[in-house]
Structure 1
Amino acid sequence: MTTTDTAPDLLTHALAYAESGLRVFPCLPGGKTPLTSSGFLDATTDPDRIREWWAWRPHANIATPTGAPGFDVLDVDVRPDGNGWAAYRRATVAGALDGWQRAIRTPSGGLHLHYPGTNQRNGSLRDHHIDFRATGGYVLLPPSLGQTKAYSRRYEVIRAVKAPGQPLDWARVTHLIAPPAPCAPRREPRDVSDEQRTAWLASHVARQPTGNRNNALFWAACRATEAGIADLDALVDAAVTAGLPRRQANLTIASAQRVIAHGPASSPTGIYR
């Protein structure tokens, strides 16, 4: 088993998080099980309550609820049966993971990316070993300890960004990594003008039902970009007609253009696998 160095003063770290505005609560030393009766619902910034908790269990891990007003977390898992690095690379190259504020190395060798908190719900792409923690979830904070039969390591900050950051669009990440099966488009036209091809693609996007709109837009934008068409406003308008928010449609268009152009995207220094 891989071991860590001497234990840090977890109370001091818990109080520092609380002073910065993050609500915290204690979890089982070396694990993620809450030590309070109501779990993350008991989280607080009250220093007296925090001192009581850590006087009772000095080696308790530090946890915080996710979602607004705190932060959301993208979790790249590393497990014996697989890891999420391939999905992470794909989403990074597409620009879908931009806007994070802190990068945390997890005890398993995985990654937590912290984003501004939202009211999105938790999500999981189990087959791709990628999880999302927002409203209704919680995560451990550095220097909490993770222990299994295979390792004993602490959560560690790799990098923090001073910029305000941007919320992660989990729906976009989901459609990019594990898109639903697209509705079969009518036969794609050949030997037509750019205007005719764009109109055909826009018609396909506009027909999509809920649950496939973003995937169809991404597909159409890729086809248009491959054909050398730069003006994709008609595709955005079609997606909005189908019920997709305009901001999300613009983000999906930009993502498709990056994927076709094979443009590199920024990644946390030292953690791109």
Structure 2
Amino acid sequence: MATTDRHPARPTSAVPRASLATLALAHALSAAERGLAVIPLSRTKLPALPSPHRGDPPSAPRCHGECGLPGHGVYDATTDPRRIRALFAAAPRATGYGIACGLPPYHLIGVDLDTKSGTDSSASLRELALRHLFTIPDTVVVATPSGGRHLWLTGPPDVVVPNSAGRLAPGIDIRGAGGYLVGPGSRTEHGVYSAVPGTGHLSPAACPPALLRLLTPPPRPQHTGRAAVPHSGQHGHGLVQFVLSAHEGQRNTRLFWAACRAHESGLGDAFLEILADAAIRTGLTERETRSTLASAARLTASR
């Protein structure tokens, strides 16, 4: 487990910047050894590398790293020590690291119990557990500087949990596919993130099925006039339907996740063309679709 800070938190400004960057890199490499894909974060908890496409016109297709340059946020996430060192070398002001959710081998789901909303998010989670008959298992818990908690859970590889804020219950945010968690050992302008004592040695526990159902919104009903889409078995059919049911704002993320799963399952180029057709039907342009598929291919190839 990335290390727990057992000493009183020193203000970020009191620690030499070079030391902060070195500490953040060390924690990130430790997390990567456990299979957690990481990116450097700034003291504001945002990705530390600026986008190389800041000057692009709004009509330009979204790049998820196909250009080969760093600065694509969670799409830069990697477990490769050489790439991690290169990312941190390009971000000398980094003071922490983010852990990408939704990626193998853990398919991490983060349950963020916030304290800033003025609600008792822990009580809200207990109420949900009683109402829906599930128990949160022993798992990694990370304490935030504001007094909140991040619970680390794992999901099945064929289920995508979207990011959400307050949808599950007031004060409870969810970090899923396309999101990231601030890793323990990270230092921010408000303090240090650290593993809660007694949980740092644990592996992320499986998300209880009843909770997983609450985190996964039902797919939208399909139009009856839509032509049937061929697929490669039940798993392939589920991936296609997942892409087809994307709401506006989810299309790229859903296509990216489905394409990654298709590569991992060896479904082949013909099936990727089926996914591309499904994505275009939802409203993505051909150019956006091809860019997202290329990004998924690049990420899975690097693993």
TM-score category by the smaller chain?
0.5 to 0.7
The amino acid that maps onto 1:53 is L
Query: Aligned in 2, Cα 1:109/1:51: closer, same or farther, shift over 3 Å?
Result: same
1:141 aligns with 2:183: yes
Long gaps (5+) in structure 1 = 176-273
Report the CA distance between 1:62 and its aligned residue: 0.5
Distance 1:96 1:124 in 2: 21
Pairing partner for 2:39 from 25, 29, 32: 25
1:75 aligns with 2:112: yes
Question: For the aligned residues, what is the CA RMSD?
Answer: 2.9
Deviation by residue 1:108-157 (Cα, 9 ceiling, x = unmatched)? 1111110113422223325611011121211110111232xxxx211111
Alpha carbons 1:125, 1:174 under 8 Å: kept:
no
What's 2:195 paired with? 157
| TM-score of the superposed pair, with normalisation by structure 1 | 0.53
Q: Is 1:91–1:97's contact at 8 Å kept on the other side of the alignment?
A: no
Question: Partner residue of 1:263?
Answer: none
Amino acid at match of 2:76: D
SS at the partner of 1:72? Answer: strand
3-state DSSP class of the match of 1:89?
Answer: helix
The answer to whether residue 77 in structure 2 is matched with residue 43 in structure 1 is yes
Instruction: Tell me: CA distance 1:104–1:52, structure 2 relative to 1, closer, same or farther (3 Å).
Output: same
The 1:59–1:146 alpha-carbon spacing in structure 2 relative to 1, beyond 3 Å, is same
Mapping 1:46-125, distance limit 5 Å:
46-56=80-90, 57=92, 59-69=94-104, 70=106, 71-79=108-116, 81-93=118-130, 95-118=133-156, 119-125=160-166
CA 1:124–1:168: 2 relative to 1, 3 Å: farther
Query: 1:66–1:134: 8 Å Cα contact kept in structure 2?
Result: yes
Q: Per the alignment, in what secondary structure is the counterpart of residue 62 of structure 1?
A: strand
* Structure 2 counterpart of 1:192: none
- Tell me which structure has the larger Cα radius of gyration: 1
Tell me which of the two structures has the higher relative contact order, counting C-alpha pairs closer than 8 angstroms and 6 or more residues apart. Answer: 2
Query: What does residue range 180-219 of structure 1 map to in structure 2 within 5 Å?
Result: none
Stretch moving more, 13-22 or 92-101: 92-101
Q: Separation in 1 of the partners of 2:204 and 2:183? A: 20
Question: What is the number of equivalent residue pairs in this alignment?
Answer: 169
How far apart, in 1, do the equivalents of 2:37 and 2:185 lie?
Answer: 16
AA aligned to 1:23 is A
User: With structure 2 as the length reference, what TM-score do the two structures score?
Assistant: 0.49
